[in-house]
Chains A and B, each alone.
Chain A
């Protein structure tokens, strides 16, 4: 291998590496979260003491991944228990979000604020949303 070729490969590698360092996963989900969720659940996912459940470190996200798409779209009126605390302030749904946007929000929440609750597949979210549409929910 001649040395100019070698240099080009090194340079490309360096570029890729610097890009990978700047890459923020789920940035679309983050923007969607800021626009549709953060005013109640707060920028840092901490919620509001006793009235609005936290998302940061929330056991609910890990325990009920199949409920999240339906709650985001249709809201929730039932009492839910998060980290041992009951919350019953009704949440309004966000019906204008698409399946893909909901997927991105869930994946952002699952990885933000120190959360590590895995990744949901867009097709899986789509399937769940089809099912909860018949059940309905929220207010």
Chain B
């Protein structure tokens, strides 16, 4: 009997220490130290890898200000393509963008850029009202319009499509990716803006990129 009484504490002690070690391992494993990949087509030139980059652009935002790549120097940003009267996926895209906006409200290094693909209907005053209604301002989130061809073309650089199609609901065929661009104009992550879980994972990717920017600075 004594033998058993003596054995029990040792056994539970061993179990306990295994548990502690396992917990330590798990917490160490959970520390995700990987960096986000650079996405898109890349090629070698003079021994250097040239990655897909967002080309030069010039659009006009909800405050009638010209918005170019210069507005995003030293910053990361999330881009999407939408239109106000869109009866299909856009409200969910904007809702996801708003979620990102609210999550990183006080984060200066992250901006948002929404391109309207319906350049005819979504005038600057309409974009302004849309942004005001959402309660967001252009120091954080640009809603831009511009040359239709230019906006539809740059959608492809953001892994999206935007095609005018009279038969499509609302008059446009388009996709709903939200794309994360780093300060070197490289694409680093994307998600399905209509899917809440996909956006949740995307928020983690954004945090990862911000961490990378932090490490580069220090």
Taking beta carbons and an 8 Å cutoff, which residues of A are in contact with B? 39-40, 42, 48-52, 89-90, 92
Contacts and interface: CB of A to CB of B under 8 A. Distances in A.
Smallest CB-CB A-B distances: 9 pairs: A50-B133, A40-B91, A48-B91, A51-B133, A49-B134, A50-B134, A92-B87, A39-B88, A48-B95
B105 to A, nearest CB: 14
A92 B86 CA distance: 10
B16 to A, nearest CB: 43
Contact of B130 (A39, A40, A51, A90): A51
12 contacts: A39-B89, A39-B91, A40-B91, A42-B95, A48-B94, A49-B133, A50-B132, A50-B135, A51-B134, A52-B91, A89-B85, A92-B87
Contacts of B91: 39-40, 42, 48, 51-52
Nearest to B85: A90
Nearest to A86: B133
B211 interface: no
Task: Summarize A's interface: helix, strand, loop or mixed.
Answer: loop
B84 interface: yes
A49 B92 contact: no
Given A39-B92, A51-B84, 19 more contacts: A39-B91, A42-B91, A42-B95, A48-B95, A48-B98, A48-B134, A49-B98, A49-B133, A49-B134, A50-B133, A50-B135, A51-B91, A51-B94, A51-B130, A51-B133, A51-B134, A52-B91, A89-B84, A89-B85
B215 to A, nearest CB: 34
A138 B135 CA distance: 26
B19 to A, nearest CB: 40
Nearest to A88: B129
Nearest to A36: B87
B170 to A, nearest CB: 8
A89 B133 CA distance: 10
Interface string B72-115: 00000000000011011101101100100000000000000000
Contacts of A51: 84, 91, 94, 130, 133-134
Given A39-B91, A42-B92, A49 B84 contact: no
Contacts of A48: 91, 94-95, 98, 134
A39 B132 contact: no
Indicate the member of B88, B91, B94, B134 with the most A CB atoms within 10 Å: B91
B20 to A, nearest CB: 41
B57 to A, nearest CB: 26
A40 B130 CA distance: 14
A39 B87 contact: yes
Nearest to A46: B95
Contact of A40 (B87, B132, B135): B87
Contacts of B87: 39-40, 92
A39 B88 CA distance: 6
A51 B89 CA distance: 15
Contacts of B84: 51, 89
Contacts of A50: 132-135
A49 to B, nearest CB: 5
